[in-house]
Every structure is written in structure tokens, then in C-alpha cells.
């Protein structure tokens, strides 16, 4: 038996093989829930994750603007994106605020529950399904399997653009 092992090892040692680099590009994702629906943002678009804190209501603003918070001495808006994603708003329980920064806007985003922050292989990000609602099709850029669950991957710039359009802040709308 030891002789067979030596033959196999010598066979591989004699060959001049190139070692293939199997490192696959990874993407960091922030996984969260809104009304038990599962979503994700690219980690590069989320700058901070904050425990829920008091949000000050601002009169005269659209209902989708939850209000503002004091974050490190700065006033930061906090928006509710449930209506963009066809999910009901939940008023109970502790929620999390994701501070997101897009190309044209920065804001806090209120989510019901932070699930995880993890790296996934780019090959695990699949194209979005065609059967999504019209609202979801405008902001979902992919589907990501994580364990036995599937998360809808959102592009923060698309979410912010849609939010501005629906809220009446987009002058081109």
C-alpha cells in the first residue's frame, strides 16, 4: 500500500502543473428584513449600522420621511422604503437604521431587522426574477441565496432615485 502511495505522489511531483487561482471576487452584503421580506444592499453603499434611536418628526414632509436623527452632531434624514418595496410598515419592535450613501444622496434607512453582514461570491448573485412587482423591478438588481433563504439585492442609488421621484423631490419627475 505504501508503494502505491509513493507512485501516486511521484507521478504528481514529476508533472509540471500550473496551480489555478480559484479565488473568486467577493461582494460584501448587508442583509435585512422589512415586514418579514428579505432584502440586501451592497456593503459598499452602507456606511454605518445604527441601533434604533429617537427620530424627530418633521412637519410638512412626505410620509415616507420618518424624520431626522442627530448622528455625530449632524442632522441625518431617515426614510422608510417600505412603500417602494411593496411591504407594510411595522410600528412595533426595535428597528435598525442603515446609513446609506449613494451618488446623489445620503440618508438613514429604517429597517425592521438587521440579519447579517457577509461576503458572498459574485457568482452567487443571480439576475432578478421577471415576476417581481413593478415597484420592485425598479430597485432590485439581483437575488442572493443565503442558506435556505433568498434575499432581493437592492441598488441604493436606484432606491434613492425612486424615493426622490415618488416623494416629489425629483425635479425631473
**CATH code for the structural domain at 24-167:** 2.40.50.180
Tracing cell 434575499 back to the chain, one arrives at 151
Across 12-16, 21-25, 28-32, 33-37, which has the greatest mean pLDDT? 28-32
pLDDT of residue 15: 55
Give me the sheet containing 113-121, strands edge to edge: 113-121, 26-34, 37-42, 149-154, 140-146
Helices (H), 41-170: 134-137, 156-167
Percentage of the chain modeled with pLDDT above 70: 83
Dihedral Cα 164, 169, 170, 171, nearest 10 deg = 180
Supply the pTM of this predicted model. Answer: 0.80
pLDDT at 173 over 50: no
| Closest to 135 (Cα-Cα) out of 151, 110, 115, 154 | 154
Q: What is the pLDDT of residues 50-82, one digit of tens each?
A: 998 899 999 988 888 999 999 888 999 999 998
Percentage of the chain modeled with pLDDT above 90: 55
| Cross-strand partners of 4 | none
Give the start-end residues of each E strand in 35-84.
37-42, 46-51, 65-71, 74-79
Question: In 3-state terms, what secondary structure has residue 173?
Answer: coil
Between 97 and 167, the more confident residue is 97
Amino acid at each position: 500500500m505504501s508503494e502505491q502511495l509513493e507512485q501516486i505522489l511521484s507521478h504528481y511531483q514529476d508533472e509540471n502543473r500550473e496551480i489555478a487561482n480559484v479565488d473568486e471576487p467577493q461582494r460584501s452584503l448587508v442583509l435585512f428584513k422589512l415586514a418579514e421580506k428579505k432584502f440586501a444592499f451592497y456593503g459598499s453603499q452602507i456606511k454605518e449600522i445604527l441601533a434604533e434611536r429617537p427620530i424627530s418628526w418633521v412637519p410638512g414632509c412626505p410620509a415616507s420621511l420618518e424624520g431626522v436623527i442627530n448622528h455625530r452632531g449632524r442632522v441625518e434624514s431617515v426614510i422608510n422604503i417600505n412603500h417602494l418595496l411593496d411591504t407594510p410598515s411595522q410600528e412595533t419592535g426595535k428597528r435598525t437604521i442603515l446609513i446609506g450613501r449613494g451618488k446623489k444622496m445620503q440618508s438613514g434607512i429604517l429597517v425592521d431587522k438587521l440579519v447579517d453582514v457577509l461576503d458572498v461570491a459574485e457568482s452567487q448573485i443571480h439576475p432578478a426574477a421577471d415576476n417581481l412587482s413593478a415597484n420592485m423591478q425598479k430597485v432590485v438588481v439581483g437575488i442572493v441565496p443565503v442558506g435556505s433563504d433568498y434575499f432581493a439585492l437592492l441598488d441604493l442609488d436606484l432606491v434613492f432615485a425612486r424615493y426622490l421621484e415618488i416623494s416629489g423631490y425629483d425635479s425631473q419627475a
